[in-house]
Structure 1
Amino acid sequence: MLLGLRIANVAVIEEVEVAFGAGLTVLTGETGAGKSILVDSLNLLLGGRADADVIRAGCEEASVEGVFARTPVLGARLEDLGLPDLGEEVLVRRVLGRTGRGKAYVNGALVTVGVLGKLTRGAVDLAGQHEHVSLFDSGLHRVLLDRYGEMETPLATYFGEYSALREVDARMEALGGDESKVRERAEFLRFQLDEISRWDPEPGEDARLDAERKRLSSAEKLKRHGAEAELLVAGDESSALETVGRALGLVHEAVKCDATLSPVAQSLSTALSELEEAQRRLNRYVEGLESDPTRLADVDERLDGLKRLCRKHGTTLDGVLKKRGEIEAELGTLENRQEVLEELALERRKVEERTRKAALALSKARSSSAVEFSAQVREGLGHLAMGKAAFEVRVTPGETLRPDGLDDVEFFFSANPGEPARPLAKVASGGEASRLLLALKRALAGSDACGCYVLDEADAGVSGAIADVVGRMIKEVSSHRQVLCITHLPQVAAYADAHLLIRKAVKAERTVSQVTVLAAGPERTRELARMMSGVEVTREALGAAEALVRSAHRSLGSPRARRESGPEGTPRGRLRRTA
């Protein structure tokens, strides 16, 4: 759910901050007041394309900031994308600049626009007044059906088998190509294998050789330091051993008179033993150190060779060893090509059988959902005075396995009784498509994972008695999902839980857009009257607006008390700065 939106320096908007609640929020105002700018700004938070032309004249940058309720889906995406998680809210921000690339932030962390889009994808469903054009795209029809039928599990099962089939095909294609290319590939692999085998690297060898090189190249220095250290430990009367030994003797004498010094004597005795051991080790170390230029040269040569191998076959020695194993496996496959091809052909038959079985199960599930989905949409059309319209989702299985299954899915529609249903793109007018869009939203509202629908004049082409039914249907959708609706229809606005008025004003000789939260009662009634009568609000229009509100609430069975108080979450409060 979208909790809030702050916009600064976008088009005619200087600065606007709006909080949103659950249910239906309508946005009204005169044409050109800036209603659609809010929708366009929200689209920027969804990773939409940005244009520097939208920056307000005289400003160097524009910004849009939004607050979304944190859902399990958003929480999982934050974790997958390695982004901060603030708990109950997700704060996103987009900044556009005139002179360079913009910036995007999620919970204060700088991200790319691509990452922003991945995070917010599906959090908001933008349905513009021209979205009905996308309904004519049959490619979208399968997506809508799968969304309605909650096909995630059968789709995942099918795609897993389909991916396995494609992998087998790729392996067969690599082996079944031109004979000369296969031979060339085998020769190249043998060359690589010979190169690695000449050095015959061992796991961890480079680290061991590097340590040995450091020791050999510093042999004289190490020997000198070791000898000096041994001298300080046990060299003369002032050495550590002699000093600690004398101290231990004195403390032993003192213990005869005061036993409380026994722990001190024990500590000195331990120190003396450790110093003696250190002296013996230093002595052995110094005697064992020899400068060996020949061995140093051998180590240098070996290290250089291993580094060359790493540059060619892997960034690390472990990578080289892994590459050797891969080369040996591929070479073995090529050398036994015919036998491997026969094994792969057998494997492919088994995988294809499983894939087709999963595809048929998916197709069956789609066909079942298509019947239910069609009935749901027809019911919605009936509420929109299109009860005799025909709507059918046709699922036609094919033979070719595709990433999304075997099925072609297409919506068929007829607005006229007795006329056969035809593909939607060929028969639906703009007004019919607008009503069909609402019927689809209604059918999807209960199963859609999206938390917020934004309807930007999706009621275009609707008027008269149908407008009231449209408002009622949008209100019904809002009982399942948060709905933000830009509308010019007072019949729709009358059903609002919250009402925002967008209007132009002049500030310091500049046009700006302002957003006002209208209180339930006279403020909302006056705006409905303006929508009915135009600039001049007449007494008759006010009376009609009051009647419209009463009618809307009667149709919903809502008590007046709830209408007057407004729903929990009516816009209020402020947004927090994210970055």
Structure 2
Amino acid sequence: MLQSLHIENAAVIQSADMDLEKGFMVLSGETGAGKSIIVDSIHLLSGSRLSRDMIRTGEDRMLVSAIFADCREEVVALLDSYGILCDGSVMLVRTLSRDGKSTVKINGRTVTQSLQRELCKLLINIHGQHDNQRLMQRAAQIEILDAYAENRETLAAYSKVYRELLDLRARLAELDGNTAEKLRMRDMLKYQIEEIAAARLKEGEEEALEAESKRLSAMERIHAQTHLAYRALHGSEKSATVLLERAASALSKLADVLPEAADEAKRLEEFRYEIEDIAETVQGYSDTDEDPTARLNKIEGRLNTIAKLRRKYGADVASILAFREKAQAELDTIENADGIREDLERDIDCLEKRAHELASEIRARRKMASDKIERAVCETLAFLDMPKVRFHIVMTEAEALRQDGGDVVEFLISANAGEAPQPLEKIASGGELSRIMLALKSVLSDKDGVDTVIFDEVDAGISGKTSRKVGIKLKEIAKQMQVVCVTHSAQIASLADKHFLISKKDEEGRTQTGITELDGEGRVAEIARILGGIDVTEAQRAVAREMIEEGKQYDENQCHATSGRGEDRI
């Protein structure tokens, strides 16, 4: 559940905090006090986009943070899959800067907005006027039906099969493309493969040829310098080897009187042999098995061949060879089309069979759920002063499999006795849509998969008497989950377990919106204000007290009723 909410620098809110509990919470306040800012801030926290204009004037950024406690196992598992520690509590923080940058942190770890949205789907639902309009969309209607039918796992399996099926169908369509184009492509691929193969390329060959070309081009200089080096080492009377030999001979003649001189003579001989080897190696630098000019011409021709292929097929020899492998794979696909087609068709048949099996399973559960939802919604609507409204879920089999299964689902209502059911958008008013949404939410309260639901002005377009019943229904939903309701209705507010006042005042020449938890006379005063407008009378205060007392009495009666049912079962 949502345990606490903190908002900084959002429009007229400089800093505001709200500590919540389980049960039924309400937020009230005069029009323009800032209730919508709080709802928008929660939307931002849930992953929605908001304009930078919402940032308080003079500030660089706004911040919204919340702590969710006693989170479900699905939340812990999701965060664990991303390597985020969670002990059952989640701290979610989002900032929005004037430069357009937005950051999200979950339990101190910076995360993507996609993970933020995925997480918040498991934590909180927000229902407002926009969501009532969304109720008219077929996609939203089938989501509601599937939530009640508990189709999540089956739908996930179906979705995986369906995506694979679409992929194989696309590959088959590509395989069966224009025949003339396939033949042209085959001939082109063959030419490309043969041209590259004829060159007999080797990786690293181009670099080696360029190095050899550079060496051969400098052969005259190489010959001159290596000749000088050879003569200095071994090829003249004053060369290093001759001088070393003389020195070694001189030291050897002292061996009888100076034994250690023999050791040094031996070392000089070893040096002489080493230098002779070096001299032979240096002399070989200028040796060639082929005329340098002829060899240079061959190298230039080979490099030109490689350059021509590089212009067509890749930046280097490795890229050219990779192009050939890819071209060969494409050619194999074209030439082996019949065998590949048979494999694809066989795989498609298997996937279609599996998809239809899953779709049938989903359909059966939807059918069972739709019957139960229809009855429960009609009962709830009757309680909410819509006794003649009949709610219907029409489900027909689609002509072909779809992303969400094999069904077309539509919610219909009959507003008056004897009238044929019609789509919601053709009949339902704003107030009726609010009550239908509330009825559906009531039916789904134990299957929603979240612990907190926020209703933004669910009382819009509803009279006082009906508002009381709406409040009772919200109270019932709050037995299953935490309910937070933004309301203008005294009847709804009087039933709350906790009541927050949203108000604004001027401080140091600036408007400030604050959140105050009401209790006792503060709550009486606010409900009286809602009832009476600007000037609150003592009579209105008395009515407010009576309404609050009735709300408490309702709670007590519900507790006794629950206790009684428990005793009956015992």
TM above 0.5, yes or no, is yes
Structure 1 321/557 Cα, relative in aligned 2: closer, same or farther at 3 Å?
A: farther
Q: 1:113 to 1:347 in 2, by over 3 A?
A: closer
Q: How far, CA to CA, are the matches of 1:386 and 1:157 in structure 2? A: 39
Corresponding residue for 2:75?
74
Instruction: For residues 293-342 of structure 1, give each alpha carbon's deviation from its aligned partner in whole angstroms, at most 9, with x where no partner exists.
Output: 99xxxxxx9xxx9xx99xx8999x9x999998876665433212234324
Bigger drift between 361-370 and 348-357 goes to 348-357
1:551 and 2:547 aligned: no
Query: Identity across aligned pairs (percent)?
Result: 34
Query: Which residue of the partner structure matches residue 568 of structure 1?
Result: none
Decide which moves more: 335-344 or 431-440.
335-344
- The amino acid across from 1:464 in the alignment is G
Q: Which moved more, 1:172-181 or 1:65-74?
A: 65-74
8 Å CA contact retained: 2:126, 2:453: yes
Counterpart contact for 1:388–1:417, Cα < 8 Å = yes
Tell me how far 1:77 sits from its aligned partner.
3.1
Structure 1 counterpart SS, 2:501: strand
Aligned partner of 2:534: which letter?
A: V
- 1:356-375 to structure 2, matched below 5 A, reads 356-375=356-375
The answer to whether residue 442 in structure 2 is matched with residue 442 in structure 1 is yes
What displacement does 1:43 show? 0.6
Return the offset for 1:440. 1.1
Moved more, 526-535 or 453-462: 526-535
Question: Which of these two proteins has the greater Rg computed from alpha carbons?
Answer: 2
> Match for residue 390 of structure 2?
390
Q: Could you report, residue by residue, the CA deviation over 1:193-232 in whole angstroms, capped at 9, with x for unpaired residues?
A: 6799799999xx99xxxxxxxxxxxxxxxxxxxxxxxxxx
Task: Summarize deviations over 1:34-69 as a string: whole Å, max 9, x none.
Answer: 111110001111111121211112222221122223
Question: Structure 2: how far apart are the matches of 1:177 and 1:559?
Answer: 69
Partner in structure 2 of residue 480 of structure 1:
480
Aligned amino acid, residue 77 of structure 1: L
Separation in 2, partners of 1:515, 1:555 = 27
**Cα gap change, 1:199/1:536 in structure 2, threshold over 3 Å: closer, same or farther?**
farther
One-letter identity of the residue aligned with 1:542: R
Alignment of 1:90-489 (within 5 A): 90-186=90-186, 331-489=331-489
In the TM superposition, what is the alpha-carbon distance from 1:348 to its structure 2 partner? 3.1
Structure 1: give runs of 5+ residues left out of the alignment.
Answer: 207-289, 295-300, 562-579
Residues 559, 160 of structure 1: alpha-carbon distance in 2 compared, 3 angstrom cutoff: closer
Secondary structure of 1:557 counterpart: helix
CA RMSD of aligned residues (A): 3.7
- Separation in 2 of the partners of 1:357 and 1:537? 65
Q: Which moved more, 1:328-337 or 1:525-534?
A: 328-337
1:355 aligned partner, one-letter code: A
Three-state SS of the structure 1 residue aligned to 2:485 is strand
Distance 2:200 2:491 in 1: 82
Note if contact 2:75-2:122 (Cα within 8 Å) is conserved in structure 1: no
Q: In 1, Cα distance between the equivalents of 2:476 and 2:124? A: 18
**SS at the partner of 2:129?**
coil
Distance, in Å, in 2 between the alignment partners of 1:148 and 1:550 is 35
- Separation of aligned partners in 2, 1:6 and 1:36: 15
Q: Which amino acid aligns with 2:545?
A: E
Task: Give the conservation status (yes or no) of the 8 Å contact 2:121–2:450.
Answer: no
Report the Cα distance in structure 2 between the residues aligned to 1:548 and 1:560, rounded to whole angstroms. 19
TM-superposed deviation, 1:113: 3.5
Q: What is residue 217 of structure 1 aligned with on the other side?
A: none
Distance in 1 of aligned mates of 2:355 and 2:45 = 39
Structure 2 unmatched ranges of 5 or more: 205-280, 289-301, 561-570
Q: 1:158 to 1:103 in 2, by over 3 A?
A: closer
Contact 2:123–2:450 (CA under 8 A) maintained in structure 1: yes
Q: Quick one: structure 1 residues 87 and 181, their matched pair in 2 at CA, closer, same or farther if it must change by over 3 Å?
A: farther
Q: Tell me whether 1:63 sits opposite 2:59 in the alignment.
A: no
1:405-439, CA deviations, whole angstroms, 9 ceiling, x for partnerless residues? 22111101022122121111111111111111110
State the TM-score, normalized to the length of structure 1. 0.72
Instruction: Check the 8 A contact 1:504/1:514 in 2, yes or no.
Output: yes
Deviation, 1:489, is 0.8
State the one-letter code of the partner of 1:71.
R
- The answer to whether the 8 Å contact 1:129/1:459 transfers is no
How far off is 1:352 after superposition? 2.5
CA distance in 1, matches of 2:108, 2:500: 29
Residue 539 of structure 2 is aligned to residue 536 of structure 1: no
- Which one-letter code corresponds to 1:345 in the other structure? E
Runs of 4+ in 1 over 6 A off after TM superposition: 191-202, 290-294, 312-315, 319-327
User: 1:171: Cα distance to partner?
Assistant: 2.2
The residue type paired with residue 463 of structure 1 is S
Q: Distance in 2 between matches of 1:383 and 1:391?
A: 14
Separation in 1, partners of 2:195, 2:106: 49
Q: Secondary structure at the match of 1:501?
A: strand
Q: Distance in 2 between matches of 1:346 and 1:50?
A: 49
Residue 78 of structure 1 and its aligned partner are, at CA, apart by 2.6
Find the aligned partners of 1:522 and 1:192 in 2 and give their Cα distance: 88
**Which residue does 1:512 correspond to in 2?**
512
1:551-575 deviations in whole A, cap 9, x for unaligned? 22333335999xxxxxxxxxxxxxx
- Counterpart residue identity of residue 526, structure 2: E
For 1:44, the equivalent position in structure 2 comes to: 44
Deviation at 1:130, TM superposition (A): 4.2
Task: Return the alpha-carbon distance in structure 2 between the equivalents of residues 25 and 522 of structure 1.
Answer: 18
Q: Which has the higher contact order (CA 8 A, sep 6+)?
A: 1
CA contact (8 A) 2:172 2:341 kept: yes
Which deviates more from structure 2 when the two are superposed, residues 129-138 or residues 6-15?
Answer: 129-138
| Residues 532-561 of structure 1: CA deviation (Å, up to 9, x unaligned) | 122333221122112212222333335999
Residue 87 of structure 2 is matched in structure 1 by 87
Q: Which moved more, 1:94-103 or 1:8-17?
A: 94-103
Aligned CA distance change for structure 1 residues 406 and 56 (closer, same or farther; 3 Å): same
Would the aligned equivalents of 1:9 and 1:63 in 2 still touch at CA under 8 Å?
yes
Instruction: Give CA-to-partner distance per residue, 1:441-499, whole Å, 9 cap, x none.
Output: 10111101122111110111112221111100001111111111011111111111111
